[in-house]
Amino acid sequence: MSQATKALTATYQSYLVRLWQDAPTGAWRASTECVQTHAVTHFADLDALFVFLGAQAAASQGETFAVREVLSK
């Protein structure tokens, strides 16, 4: 991976986010697809999606991400 690609990866992330319900009153489910790598991740609920996205953003900045920060909001 070139230095330019590494720098872009560290400062830019793009995900296709899909949301759906299995039933009209069911919990929202989600998945993400990384545009760069096409990796797909599935989530049982929106809280798990938000934790994932927060962790991805924090990791790109060399930080750690506290799950309780997302879940308590």
pLDDT in tens, the chain (73 residues): 555 555 555 678 899 999 999 999 999 999 999 998 999 999 999 999 999 998 888 876 666 555 545 444 4
pLDDT for the residue numbered 12:
81
Residue 58 belongs to some domain of the structure? yes
pLDDT for the residue numbered 4:
54
33 Ramachandran zone, left/alpha/beta (phi>0; psi -120 to 50): beta
DSSP state of 35: T
Residue 60 belongs to some domain of the structure? yes
- Give pTM, 2 decimals: 0.71
What is the domain count for the chain? 1
Residue 6 belongs to some domain of the structure? no
pLDDT for the residue numbered 52:
93
Residue 9 belongs to some domain of the structure? no
Residue 66 belongs to some domain of the structure? yes
Domain coverage including residue 21: 14-71
